[in-house]
Amino acid sequence: MERGNATVGDLDKARGLVWAAGPADFPQLPESIEWVQLSSAGIEEFFAAGVIDHHPDVQFTSAAAIFAPTVAEHALALLLAGVRYLPEQILADSWRQQEFLPHIGTLRGSTVTIIGAGGIGRALIPMLAALGAHVIAVSRSGRPVPGAVETLPVNRLGEIWSRTDHVVVAAPATPATKHLIGAEELAALRSTSWVINIARGSLIDTDALVDALASNSIGGAGLDVTDPEPLPDGHPLWALPNAIVTPHDSNPPQRRVAAFADHVAANVARFSSGQDLIAKVDRNSGY
Amino acid sequence: MERGNATVGDLDKARGLVWAAGPADFPQLPESIEWVQLSSAGIEEFFAAGVIDHHPDVQFTSAAAIFAPTVAEHALALLLAGVRYLPEQILADSWRQQEFLPHIGTLRGSTVTIIGAGGIGRALIPMLAALGAHVIAVSRSGRPVPGAVETLPVNRLGEIWSRTDHVVVAAPATPATKHLIGAEELAALRSTSWVINIARGSLIDTDALVDALASNSIGGAGLDVTDPEPLPDGHPLWALPNAIVTPHDSNPPQRRVAAFADHVAANVARFSSGQDLIAKVDRNSGY
């Protein structure tokens, strides 16, 4: 290990292990091992395979939230592209200044609602704050999220649609979040509102979104995830000028390696100096 | 005045004047006036017309730098669109994930050089910092600019091209800055580098830029200003897939009114409470 003030050595003398594979080949750990860093954000397979229960005295850490900044950056890129009317401008082949000027919006002073206050949502807040946007966070509990001017519990989500300028979907896909945004919610948004989805396609009713985009009842949509996914050839979203579709590429492989390396280095440094580790696995909650 | 804790009244009883027109019709000021807020950033015409010299006891304030945040936001939108490969993705009409993934970059951990440390450059720094970019500022003096990890004087600009990931041009157009970026500078940049220009077209050698874009020797260019401007129909920049041209619309009229209103409200509040005003005109330096 060249970073984090540790050395790489044999497993049977090591205090920590960085395991970058799945649970299948997980080794028998010597007693010297106090800590295991896993390389995925979701580690349900390690629980299922008994790896974690089999080592009750080992502190496991996951890669939870380490990819959040790159996904949040993608969300911001999509939102800014929408607010700055870039899709139409990128397609243009002549100087249409007078036509475009009225469509140039700004995030400064705008209200952006982030649905979901996990790693991605929390990473996005300071980016939006730096642009002068007011962030409303929506979480299950409604406990105040740092940097948000207001945090609402999800049971008050209905208040959002008429109050916000833009919406970023960053919540997990569960039966409860399916079609969280449908025709009614879209109808309550503004004609300049952009809806960004970097979470899962199922959270938005695609047919209702297509209708809203086609009728310009909202400003546009920036989608890194779709329903269905992959989005089939000929789907209306491909042709709508106010829809930006990126094919689930907000967290590219080359970024994952770099982000994981940063995470390992940070945890190695913490482990060496006896500090609390990042992304500790909680045996009770299962993640 | 509904904001800033002041009331609107007759000129002959007022202490302050907000003048939203040019120097031609500027009124004879009563002795009660202590402060005049002008509505343009450059106020050379008021000096030329003698308005400012004619009122030696009045503090004039300009609208300098109040439009900087919206232009900086535009610069960030262009840079993020480039780094996240949005132009090609916006043009796509099928799910080309494997093709696009290798092109998705990030500003996190990247080095962005801002040439020019005026209002726009300074407004852009915290936006980039929030995304985890390291900002190098280039100014005439080289005096450290807040938020930049490094500030270089313009006579060391030559060191930048091989060190930076991306470049944002935010310097004034002067004889000294014409073609600041030409073939040699572009050749030293990386194949993933984006060049953003929200200043004046003349700072970049357009022909050299077209060559660099056509050969993919740089990642791309985001241009809100061009040379010539307006960019004529049929110009190669319109057709290059790694060029984003927005027709000098980063500071739209509807934003100017809102930004000026914010500025006036802030200065009225400061004036009422005896605080130092923002954007005071310096009679000696002429701006």
Q: Which residues in chain A have their CB less than 8 angstroms from residue B132's CB?
A: 69
A16 Cβ neighbours under 8 A, 6+ residues apart: A6, A33, A34, A35, A36, A37, A268, A271
Same domain, A83 and A220: yes
Q: Which of A183, A175, A233 is nearest to A207 (CA)?
A: A183
ipTM metric? 0.86
Contact criterion met (CB < 8 Å) for B108 and A69: yes
Could you tell me if A82 and A213 are in contact, meaning their C-beta atoms sit under 8 angstroms apart?
no
Q: Which residues in chain B have their CB less than 8 angstroms from residue A73's CB?
A: 80, 84, 106-108, 131
Would residue A55 count as lying in a domain? yes
Is the pLDDT at B151 greater than 80? The verdict is yes
Same domain, A23 and A164: no
Would residue B113 count as lying in a domain? yes
Contact criterion met (CB < 8 Å) for B247 and A95: yes
Domain carrying residue B40: 11-66+253-272
Is the pLDDT at B2 greater than 60? The verdict is no
Could you tell me if B181 and B207 are in contact, meaning their C-beta atoms sit under 8 angstroms apart?
no
Question: What does DSSP assign to residue A204?
Answer: B
The pair of three-digit structure tokens given for residue B12, joined into one six-digit string: 């002959």
What one-character-per-residue DSSP string does A63-122 give? -TTTTHHHHHHHHHHHHHHHHTTHHHHHH--S--HHHHGGG---STT-EEEEE--SHHHH
Helix (H) or strand (E) holding B236: helix B236-239
Shortest Cα distance, chain B CAs vs residue A87, angstroms = 6
Same domain, B106 and B16: no
Same domain, A24 and A124: no
Is the pLDDT at A1 greater than 50? The verdict is no
Which one of B71, B122, B131, B242 would you mutate to disrupt binding with A, by most A Cβ within 10 Å of its Cβ? B131
What CATH number is attached to the domain comprising A180? 3.40.50.720
The total domain count for chain A is 2
Q: Which of A252-256, B101-105, B145-149, B250-254 has the lowest mean pLDDT?
A: A252-256
Would residue A283 count as lying in a domain? no
The pair of three-digit structure tokens given for residue B65, joined into one six-digit string: 């730098």
Q: Which residues in chain A have their CB less than 8 angstroms from residue B104's CB?
A: 74, 249-250, 252, 254-255
Contact criterion met (CB < 8 Å) for A97 and B230: yes
pLDDT digits (tens, 9 = 90+) for B77-91: 999 999 999 999 999
Same domain, B145 and B16: no
The percentage of residues in chain B with a pLDDT greater than 70, rounded to a whole number, is: 97
* DSSP β-bridge partners for residue B59: B35
**Residue where the block lists tokens 């005049």:** B36
Shortest Cα distance, chain B CAs vs residue A109, angstroms = 10
pLDDT digits (tens, 9 = 90+) for B113-122: 999 998 999 9
B244 Cβ neighbours under 8 A, 6+ residues apart: A86, A89, A90, B78, B81, B82, B87, B220, B221, B222, B223
Same domain, A33 and A96: no
Same domain, A20 and A94: no
Contact criterion met (CB < 8 Å) for B86 and A83: no
B28 Cβ neighbours under 8 A, 6+ residues apart: none
Same domain, A238 and A110: yes
Contact criterion met (CB < 8 Å) for B90 and A94: no
Same domain, B198 and B101: yes
Question: What does DSSP assign to residue B212?
Answer: H
Could you tell me if B103 and B241 are in contact, meaning their C-beta atoms sit under 8 angstroms apart?
no
Same domain, B126 and B188: yes
Q: Which of B135, B162, B139 is nearest to B150 (CA)?
A: B135
Which one of A101, A198, A233, A250 would you mutate to disrupt binding with B, by most B Cβ within 10 Å of its Cβ? A101
Same domain, A108 and A197: yes
Contact criterion met (CB < 8 Å) for B109 and A76: no
Is the pLDDT at B162 greater than 70? The verdict is yes
Distance CA B105, CA B110 (A): 9
Q: Which of A116-125, A147-156, A174-183, A253-262 has the lowest mean pLDDT?
A: A253-262
What mean pLDDT, rounded, does chain B reach?
Answer: 93
Give A228's Cβ-side CA count (13 Å radius): 7
Would residue B103 count as lying in a domain? yes
Which one of A83, A95, A237 would you mutate to disrupt binding with B, by most B Cβ within 10 Å of its Cβ? A95
Shortest Cα distance, chain B CAs vs residue A174, angstroms = 25
Would residue A6 count as lying in a domain? no
Same domain, B208 and B85: yes
Please confirm, yes or no, whether B229 is among the known catalytic residues. yes
Q: Which residues in chain A have their CB less than 8 angstroms from residue B255's CB?
A: 104, 106
Would residue B4 count as lying in a domain? no
